[in-house]
Amino acid sequence: MFGGLSRFFLVSLTTCISSLWLAALPVRADQSKVWQALLSGGHVALIRHAVAPGTGDPSGFRIGDCSTQRNLSTEGRAQAGLIGDLFRRNGIASADVYTSQWCRCRDTAQLLKLGTPADLPVLNSFFGAWRNSGPQTKELRAWLRNRSKPGPAVLVTHQVNITELTGVYPASGEIVVISMSQAGEVTVTGTIRTD
């Protein structure tokens, strides 16, 4: 009797934990629905910069000096071009493009060929300055809430920024489509892998 009850409890606990774990996974909605949402307005595409080998930035990093930074690899440059092609194949030939000031993000944004990228410092990485994560994410939420342009928006940024805002841990070049309520609540519509 006790063995059967223990086994039942263990199976129930495992099922419960599995359900909670699955609920925490990023939304992988049908891609056509994600593209439709982006086309319909009220949604924004966050893109983690394309492949740039390594983690963080070297000591001596300086904004505006790509020789002091981690940069896109040949694979990353090709990936960025393919991401732009993916947007065009799904009906988005142009967009308002905003980028972190880091070279790997700026290069990704330019290689998308969806529009002239504008620097948006709130998208800059806080990987080496975690104290900035809260204030910077709050500022990004305000920017998203107050954005009034009707067309699609593409924001090229870093993994830490996307994760802090959405809870999604994106791969290099992954697209995370979100909507933002007036109350500042972010809803992840879905994600699109591009690797």
Q: Where are the domains of the chain?
A: 27-192
Task: Write down the CATH number for the domain with range 27-192.
Answer: 3.40.50.1240
Q: Which two tokens stand for residue 100?
A: 């972190």
Collapsing DSSP states into helix, strand and coil, what is residue 175?
Answer: strand
**Sheet containing strand 153-157, strands side by side:** 118-119, 96-99, 153-157, 43-48, 175-180, 186-192
* pLDDT of amino acid 29: 53
Q: Which two tokens stand for residue 81?
A: 């071009």
Q: Which two tokens stand for residue 183?
A: 């109350």
Q: How far apart are CA 60 and CA 78, in angstroms?
A: 27
Q: What DSSP element (H or E) covers 177?
A: strand 175-180
* pLDDT of amino acid 59: 87
Would you say the C-alpha torsion 84, 90, 92, 93 has a positive or negative sign?
A: positive
Q: Which two tokens stand for residue 94?
A: 């142009």
CA distances (Å), origin 73, targets 31, 52, 54, 68, 121: 27, 5, 10, 15, 23
Q: Is the entire prediction scored with pTM above 0.75?
A: yes
Q: Which two tokens stand for residue 97?
A: 């493009």
Collapsing DSSP states into helix, strand and coil, what is residue 5?
Answer: helix
- Per DSSP, helices labelled H in 25-169 are 31-40, 74-89, 103-112, 133-146, 159-166
User: In degrees, to the nearest 5, what angle opens at C-alpha 31 toward C-alphas 29 and 33?
Assistant: 75
Q: What is the DSSP letter of 92?
A: -
Rounded to the nearest 10 degrees, the angle between the axes of helix 103-112 and helix 74-89 is: 40
* pLDDT of amino acid 49: 98
Tens-digit pLDDT string for the chain (195 aa): 445 444 333 334 333 433 333 333 344 457 999 999 999 988 999 999 999 999 888 888 999 999 999 999 999 999 999 999 999 999 999 999 999 999 999 999 999 999 999 999 999 999 988 888 999 999 999 999 988 787 899 999 999 999 999 999 999 999 999 998 878 899 999 999 998
